[in-house]
Amino acid sequence: MKRHKTKGLIALAFSAVLLAACATTPTLYAPQTGPRGAGYSEYRLEAGRYRVTFQGNPGAPVNQVSDYALLRSAELALRDGYDWFRVADRVTQQTGSGGGSSLSIGGGSGSYGRRSGVGLGVGTSFNLGPGPAVSSSMEVVFGKGKPPSGADVYDARAIVRTVGQGRAAV
């Protein structure tokens, strides 16, 4: 009976570890509160030019992190009296392990007195963690009036409307 209870407790503990490994903290749009915390930060390079960074929690989708960096850029542009912004430089980085599975094969031999034996084992491992943490950093240049054409030019009001309202659904 005691052995049965021990096996049950081991199975329960293993299940709890699996669930904890799969849990992720949602990435919310907010200022970054610590050097490794999730959120946005900005650095003013000169008038009308900023370096904007958004750090996501582990497992946050790359698109969400990039959209939040764009949203912060749009908010800064509007706050400073500009209509649009251009992304002059963009860097997306991942920290931590994305994981994956691995397969290992091992063998051994031994003897005890007149007896000897050979063993062969096969094992697998799976990374059940939330995945890597993603950060998006961009240098943005603000402008007024009609925006120039270009793939990296954004209307600040449109970004706030689409990304800003879209994050409420996340």
Tokens 């407790």 belong to residue:
9
Buried b (16+ CB within 10 A) or exposed e, 81-104: ebebbbbeeeeeeeeeeeeeeeee
SS3 154: strand
Q: Supply angle C-alpha 101, 105, 109, rounded to 5.
A: 155
**pLDDT band at residue 152, thresholds of 50, 70 and 90?**
very high
Q: Which of 17, 157, 59 lies closest to 165, judged by CA?
A: 157
Q: Model confidence over 2-33: pLDDT tens digits?
A: 555 656 555 544 444 444 444 568 889 999 99
More confident residue, 114 or 153: 153
pLDDT band at 107 (very low <50, low <70, confident <90, very high): low
Task: Assign 122 a pLDDT band (cuts: 50, 70, 90).
Answer: low
| pTM > 0.75: yes or no | no
